[in-house]
Amino acid sequence: MSIIIYLQILLIIISLVITFGKDNLNMVIFFSVFSLICASLYYFYRAPDLALAEAAIGSAIVPLIFIITISKQREFMVICNIEDDFINPKSKEGEGYKLLSDFTDYYNLKLVVRENKEDTIYGVFRVRNVDLSVKKKKDKYIFEGKSTSIIMNKLVQMTKECSKVDILLVEEEQMDD
């Protein structure tokens, strides 16, 4: 009987940690532990089939979905509309590419550059996940980003010295041309 009380107290502590914690990946692991303790409590309360379902879904499938979502969020998506040496995604060279990789290294993000072809980008992906798009107007390169994104301010600071680059901040709906 005493192990049930011990597990219940542990459950309350872990749920408080999940609620007030800051790091996302740690929270996913705590969520998995929460489900395991829940499953053992179900077993002690004589519901072993519920314990099986909880252990399979709560502590394996849902944390896997969360982990993959978090790892997808660590990308910085750039759509490239120009075809010259300023940004060259294949050889990873060029002045603009170096600027962008400096910027993403500062935030520990992964830089992904895609060329604008209709058949490579599709689905829900087209509307929401683009962080930056690059265009060319006369002699200047124009970076278009969301005005709601916080890290764009850092990009504005970094590109002050570079005379070739202009930054345009637009609203959320105008990003997907």
Partner 1 sequence: MIKKILVLLMLFTILVFFMITISDFNINTYTKDYLLENGYKETGSQNLITAVYLDYRLYDSIFEAGVLLVTVSGIIFMSKKDDEVL
Partner 2 sequence: MKTSEILTTICKVLFPFVLSYGLYVIINGHISPGGGFQGGAILATAILINYLIGIHIVEDVGLLVKVEKYTFIVIMLLAFVSLFTRGELFTNFFSIQSSILQKRIFLILMNFFIGIKVATGLIAIFSTFIEEGE
The residue ranges that bind partner 2 (CB under 8 A) are 48-49, 52-53, 56-57, 60-61, 64-65, 67-69, 71-72, 123-125
Chosen from partner 2, partner 1, none, partner binding at 126 (C-beta under 5 to 8 Å by type):
partner 1
The closest alpha carbon to 131, from 118, 149, 116, 115, belongs to 149
User: Applying CB under 8 A, which of residues 23, 90, 120, 122 lies at the interface with partner 1?
Assistant: 122
Which of residues 54 and 155 has its CB atom nearest to partner 2 in the complex?
Answer: 54
Q: Which helix (H) or strand (E) holds 138?
A: none
Give min distance, CB of 122 to partner 1, in A.
5
The structure tokens listed for 72 are 């997808």
User: Applying CB under 8 A, which of residues 123, 150, 160, 173 lies at the interface with partner 1?
Assistant: 123
Q: Considering just the CA atoms, what is the radius of gyration of the chain in Å?
A: 23
User: Applying CB under 8 A, which of residues 40, 82, 126, 166 lies at the interface with partner 1?
Assistant: 126
Q: 177 by DSSP, 3-state: which?
A: coil
The structure tokens listed for 82 are 């120009």
The answer to whether 171 contacts partner 1 (rule: CB under 8 A) is no
Beta partners for residue 145, in sequence order: 132, 169
